[in-house]
Amino acid sequence: MASQMERPKASPAYQDSGTLERALAVYLDQQLGRAVGVSGLRRFAVGFSWITIGFTISAPGIGGCTELILRLGPADGLFAPYSAAPQFFALRALEGAGVPAPRAFLWSDDSTILGAPFFISELVQGEAPIPWGPAGGMPEELRDRLGVAFTDALGALHNVEWQSSGLATVGEEITVENAASRQLEEWERNYLRWRLRPHPMLHYAARWLRANLPTAPRVSIVHGDYRLGNFLAIGDRITAILDWELVHLGDPHEDLAWACLPQYRAGTKLMSRLIERDAMYQRYHDKTGIEVDPETMRFYEIFSLYKLAVTHMAAVSVFERNDFHDLRMPAMGTQIAPVLRQMEKALEALA
C-alpha cells in the first residue's frame, strides 16, 4: 500500500537555491535580530569537500560586510561527517594576529537549519594562483615575492596564541609529546574507514611512523592543507588563506612538510612551486624562532604521503559508497598507486 511505502528523503536545503535563500534569511534574521535581505546566491566550483556559496545581504551587513561566504559540509562529502566548529574557532583565533584569513561571523552544526553544518565568513577579494605548470605559470619576480609572503603567512599562523580561543576546546588535549601520534592515529582510522581493499605499503609506513614519532617544538594551529592553490592573492600580496577543513592543533612541521610535497613542486626545486627549500626554512625560522628539524621533517614528509594516499582513497570511497557524483573523485583514485610508490622510495632511502 502507498501508505506503507517508504517516503523519499527530503533534499537538504542547500540543494535548491530558492529554499536555501529563504532558510538562510530566516537564520540571519534570528541571529541578527533584524530583517536581512539575502540575494545573489552563487556556488563556486572550487574545492573537493565543503560547498562554497557567495551571497549578498542588505546593509549594514555583518561586521560591515554585505558580501559574504557560506561554507557547508555535506553529509556525502569527502571528509564527512563534518563539524564547522574547528574552522570557525580557528578563523576567529586568527583575527588581529597578522594571518591573512577571512573573518568568520556565525556557525552551526545543526543540520536542520540549512541541511548541513556551516559557517559564514566575509568574502575576501583576490585570485587563487593557478597551481598548474612550472611555478604555477607565474612570472619569476611575482613568484619570488609570493614565496616570501607564503612563508611569512605560515610563520604568522604558527605564532598565533590559540590557548584562550575556542579552538582550545575542540578535540582532545594535544601536547608536544603526543601531537604526532594523535595525527597518525587519526589517519590510520581514516584509512580503515575509507579503504576499498588492503594496501600493505600503508601498513609498512604506519609501522615506520610509529617507531619514529617526533616531539614537536611547540603546539601550533596547523592548517592541514597549506599549499599553492589554497590561498587568494592580489599581485604579490596574499589576501586570504582558504580551505581550513583539516585545521587542528599539532606540530608546525606538519604544514611545512605538506607544502614541500613533490606533488606540489611540478618537477621544480620550489616548495609549492614558490620558494626553494633552504630559503623557506631560513625565512620560517626568522619569523617563528623554530629551528626546522631534518628528522622531524622526514617523519612528516612520510606522514604527508600517507595522508595524501588516504585522501585519494576517501575520494574513491565517497564516489563508490556515498553517491557523491563529482567526477573529480574517481580521478583522484588514479593517484593512489603513484603516491604509494613514492612512499616506498622515501622509506627505502631511510633504510
Q: Could you tell me if 138 and 113 lie in one domain?
A: no
Query: Does 192 map to a domain?
Result: yes
Residue 34 has pLDDT above 90, yes or no: yes
pLDDT at position 55: 98
Q: Could you tell me if 97 and 140 lie in one domain?
A: no
Domain boundary among 122, 156, 176: 122
Phi-psi region of 98 (alpha: psi -120 to 50; beta: other; left: phi over 0): left
C-beta atoms surrounding 344 within 10 Å: 14
Least Cα distance to 194 among 309, 307, 317, 306 occurs for: 317
Residue 1 has pLDDT above 60, yes or no: no
Query: Does 1 map to a domain?
Result: no
Query: Does 267 map to a domain?
Result: yes
Domain boundary among 92, 122, 152: 122
Task: Note the pLDDT tens digit of each residue in 156-165.
Answer: 999 999 999 9
Q: Could you tell me if 272 and 171 lie in one domain?
A: yes
Q: Could you tell me if 346 and 241 lie in one domain?
A: yes
Residue 108 has pLDDT above 50, yes or no: yes
Among the ranges given (11-15, 77-81, 194-198, 337-341), the one the predictor scored with the smallest mean pLDDT: 11-15
Residue 328 has pLDDT above 90, yes or no: no
Q: Could you tell me if 169 and 74 lie in one domain?
A: no
Q: Could you tell me if 229 and 258 lie in one domain?
A: yes
**Position with higher pLDDT, 14 vs 187:** 187
Domain boundary among 122, 151, 167: 122
Q: Could you tell me if 51 and 148 lie in one domain?
A: no
Residue 47 has pLDDT above 70, yes or no: no
Beta strand 220-222 with 118-122 is unpaired
Least Cα distance to 230 among 127, 107, 333, 341 occurs for: 127
Rounded to two decimals, what is the model's pTM? 0.93
Task: Note the pLDDT tens digit of each residue in 116-149.
Answer: 999 999 999 999 987 555 555 678 899 999 999 9
Q: State the residue range of the domain holding 64.
A: 9-122
Q: Could you tell me if 46 and 168 lie in one domain?
A: no
Q: Could you tell me if 144 and 268 lie in one domain?
A: yes
**Position with higher pLDDT, 344 vs 323:** 344
**Overall average pLDDT of the 286-295 stretch:** 98
C-beta atoms surrounding 172 within 10 Å: 7
Query: Does 127 map to a domain?
Result: no
Q: Could you tell me if 111 and 144 lie in one domain?
A: no
Angstrom distances, CA of residue 80 to CA of 49, 109, 195, 256: 8, 12, 15, 25
Dihedral of CA 267/271/277/279: which sign? positive
Residue 2 has pLDDT above 80, yes or no: no
**Overall average pLDDT of the 301-316 stretch:** 94
Q: Could you tell me if 198 and 100 lie in one domain?
A: no
Domain count across the chain: 2
What CATH number does the domain containing 211 carry?
Answer: 3.90.1200.10
Q: How confident is the model at residue 315 (pLDDT cuts 50, 70, 90)?
A: confident
pLDDT at position 351: 75
Q: Are 44 and 52 in contact (CB under 8 A)?
A: yes
**Calpha distance 303→341 (Å, rounded):** 14
pLDDT at position 332: 75
**Overall average pLDDT of the 248-272 stretch:** 95
**Position with higher pLDDT, 335 vs 241:** 241
Least Cα distance to 326 among 69, 80, 39, 68 occurs for: 80
pLDDT at position 8: 46
Q: Could you tell me if 94 and 152 lie in one domain?
A: no
Task: Note the pLDDT tens digit of each residue in 197-252.
Answer: 899 999 999 999 999 999 999 999 999 999 999 999 999 999 999 999 999 999 99
What CATH number does the domain containing 13 carry?
Answer: 3.30.200.20
Query: Does 106 map to a domain?
Result: yes
Query: Does 4 map to a domain?
Result: no
**Calpha distance 258→226 (Å, rounded):** 7
Beta strand 231-234 with 118-122 is unpaired
Query: Does 308 map to a domain?
Result: yes
**Calpha distance 57→81 (Å, rounded):** 29
Query: Does 3 map to a domain?
Result: no
